[in-house]
Amino acid sequence: DQQVKQNSPSLSVQEGRISILNCDYTNSMFDYFLWYKKYPAEGPTFLISISSIKDKNEDGRFTVFLNKSAKHLSLHIVPSQPGDSAVYFCAASATGNQFYFGTGTSLTVIP
């Protein structure tokens, strides 16, 4: 049973515009969330995280929003750049170090 879902397998965005990647989860015990970025033939790279005590965390062009009541988080990339083209995974944790990953969204930023 998939506890973390990314319902959009792919997304295309024009360079300079906003990319919005979405993630839904089912386990109300999840209290820590991360986004990872993955290029082909490489391992995932940590991008940004958010704790459930916050509803927003920002790092440069990347902002993660958390809506606990809707069990939904999103990653906003503004402005999008061609180098952002990659697969993005969201992950969630309830306690400890076990993280549950979504299936990923492949982002293509068109120059």
Partner 1 sequence: GAGVSQSPRYKVAKRGQDVALRCDPISGHVSLFWYQQALGQGPEFLTYFQNEAQLDKSGLPSDRFFAERPEGSVSTLKIQRTQQEDSAVYLCASSLDGGDRGTQYFGPGTRLLVL
Residues of this chain that bind partner 1 (CB under 8 A): 4, 6, 32, 36, 41-46, 49, 89, 91, 93, 95-104
17 vs 46, which CB is nearer to partner 1? 46
- CA 33/CA 90 separation, integer angstroms: 7
Distance in Å, CB of 79 to partner 1, minimum: 25
Distance in Å, CB of 14 to partner 1, minimum: 26
77 vs 92, which CB is nearer to partner 1? 92
97 vs 111, which CB is nearer to partner 1? 97
Angle at 96 between CA 90 and CA 100, to 5 degrees: 25
Distance in Å, CB of 103 to partner 1, minimum: 5
Token pair for residue 16?
């300079």
- CA 17/CA 70 separation, integer angstroms: 26
8 vs 49, which CB is nearer to partner 1? 49
Burial 78-102 (b: 16+ CB within 10 A, else e): eebeeebbbbbbbbbbeeeeebbbb
